[in-house]
Structure 1
């Protein structure tokens, strides 16, 4: 309903005048989840770098209420749940609204303060319900003594909310082991790191033991009810672990094995050739100091017929 009401501000002409200054440009419409955050970036023309920038709320430009403003510098300024920062080089105003509520759905303005009438561009802010839990693995397994890493994903709008990792079967009473404070936080063997650029956070448990097995939750902190996903962790010893899966060989390793095979074949063929050459039939060579095969045959000697004992040969 708040989203519909915010859009009606644009669709009902004549109710309010939403006249943007040509020197300031805004996205026109942004949205974020209730309990989460959103970011608005407005650009302005060259020449307005050192002027005060502001963020105000209200469809009527004349009576909109300024929520947060800069001092003319690039320093970030915060007021309650909102912050504003000016980038002089990129000519860009960045506004962040945290812990969004249904009441934040309204028309806002990013503007420049100057003498006379200020400059500004309108932005319709919509807030929607998002109770989608983070998405992570249902079960992870690890060998005792090794490190275990669990990565969970979350939806747009939860980048600035704290993330946590807790242990226990019951969601409401699980013990939080570590939570983010900024982007990364360590707690002994357990660490957690949030990566808002790809909307994931990773929990690492080092040197796990059998006592680390059990049910865990990766969660997102909200103003009302937190969001979480259950992860079952199993720890096993090398003796109880299943057979190791052979690592597939790479193309480089396959080529190396193939080259060694061909080298061994060539070496074997060389040895066989040497054996055949050494045991080949020999022939005497004709020439000086030698004789041909034919010349080497001896003339037959005189023939003596066999004799038997006791028999006298006739003359």
Structure 2
């Protein structure tokens, strides 16, 4: 083998190593996102780059792309590094621009280019592929459900549910159902439903829905199950709690209505009582006081010139007293009491004759 052949072979081998290094970074390929919404992109790197700076770059060509965010950057674009998983995530919120973006780990050596890979972000008001929830949580031994919606343009395209860390995929075709012991996928013509059951902690991580060439990332977290509490009991517990809250709201509402009604009735009674007190006053016609009227008639006997002075001194004057009992103006006949008074000129007083 000639010298030039050896040099050429070495160059090709070195170029292959560079290319393989560049391609060690993994991410999605064509992500669909809603304008004004949010999306999180996972980027998986080799473990030897745990300590290297990570960044997110925008531009069609790598050589001319502009760095948008570094790790631990917060803002419209947030980048978080997760060394334990050999992964960093880029969150765009709100999403605005379609275009080519790059996940990259900075290496900085002239002979060892940065570790990188690109994806295309397709942004629209009504994306052709979307999910009900991009972050779903379940418990060990339980199940989770992800709903992926697609437009009519992708009705006859291949549908997949894939795990990001090992690119394991479950494929569904039109109106068919694919299932394993842990995953069931059903396509109804406008969306496909993914149900993962018997969850394990190892099932946690990033997945994606795909229809044709479009992808939407979904993160699933798996927590420890409460001991001795199966899923159906958890659902019953949640249902009972909701029923309790509803009953409490209804009873509270009824009590409030009763309090308002009672307050209104009390106010009306108070108002009526006040009117009675105001209008009562004094009604003299209702005063049941008996009044006795006495009429004294003094009759002076005619003087007799033949009487002696002693006889005239002992003369008696008779008077008639009429006691009238006057009741309230309702009495039909006044009661009259007649009395005869004997008035003497005796200074000791007067006496009443029977």
| TM-score bracket for the superposition, by shorter chain length | 0.3 to 0.5
Radius of gyration: which is bigger?
2
The TM-score normalised by the length of structure 1 is 0.34
> Which has the bigger relative contact order, CA under 8 A and spacing at least 6?
1
Higher normalized helix content (fraction of residues): 2
